[in-house]
Amino acid sequence: MDFEKKINNFLNYLKVVKNASDHTTRNYLIDLKYFTQFLKKKFKKENINISSINKWTLRSYLASLYDQKLKSRSIMRKISTLRSFFNYLMKEKIIKENPLDEIDSPKKQQAFPNAINYSQIEHLFNMPDTSNYLGLRDKVIMEVLYSSGLRLSELVLLDKKDLDEKNNLLNIYGKGKKQRIVPITNTAKNWLKKYLDHKSRFEDNKINKKQKNDKALFLNKFGERITVRSIDRNFKKYLLKSDLDLKITPHTIRHTIATHWLENGMDLKTIQILLGHTNLATTTMYTQVSSKLKRKVYDKTHPRA
């Protein structure tokens, strides 16, 4: 029984049947390759028989992950991947018993989102030099992230047609390719319009002769759709220039606007919809990190406040 072939079948099942994103499928592949290498080392052979994997094998694997001092979150993801894989094998009647049934997942460590204050947002957003085309683009990216609380993976997928300029709306494709419509501020829209109308978008590309992407909203210096990695790299440059906390990331902007929405009176259900959270519990975590909100609630409810 070809173990690695079963993995390929499983990944294909995720794509075709479960409509999993490329990002999700890639993470599953990474985790399953990691597990495969462990099995080859443990059994000292290249071809692994699925029937030889039992709860003791998995406990040994779990122990090895702890020995490597991996973070709890990483271990949870690897176990979750295996749980999905073995559930698939059960569903396809490839195995009769799930060896993970008696394995408990490690407890999740509560990680509260990092958020910054509005003055820090303004300071950071002033770092790009908007007198040049690429600096303008980076400023607009920051404004759009803060305007609508997008994930980077959602922002890079934006096409020009996804902007409804008349109604100040963006059409977003989120996790699991779920679609949602989110509002955009006038500030962000005006910066976007300035970027889209910039003459450099229409000049001949002297660096790379390939035709420019005429659909994507945000382009790299070669005229192609910008990537998450490029945005991360540029963001670090501005962060160093700003002298702000180096732990701030583009995702911090998403956490920040969610916290600011909450502090200014937006209800959790609306925030959930805007952020594209499947579970309201995910959105509720913002109530744990806002000291300003806690103070407001305290002052409003305490008889002697």
| Residues labelled catalytic | 151, 175, 251, 254, 277, 286
Assign 181 to helix, strand or coil: strand
Distance CA 213, CA 201 (A): 10
Torsion of CA 122, 127, 132, 133, to 10 degrees: -70
Q: List, in order, residues 6 or more apart from 44 with CB less than 8 Å away.
A: none
Distance CA 213, CA 12 (A): 29
- Residue 182's DSSP bridge partners are 170
Distance CA 123, CA 193 (A): 22
Closest C-alpha among 120, 171, 181 to residue 146: 120
What burial class does residue 135 get, using C-beta atoms within 10 Å of its C-beta: 0-12 exposed, 13-18 middle, 19+ buried?
middle
Distance CA 191, CA 27 (A): 35
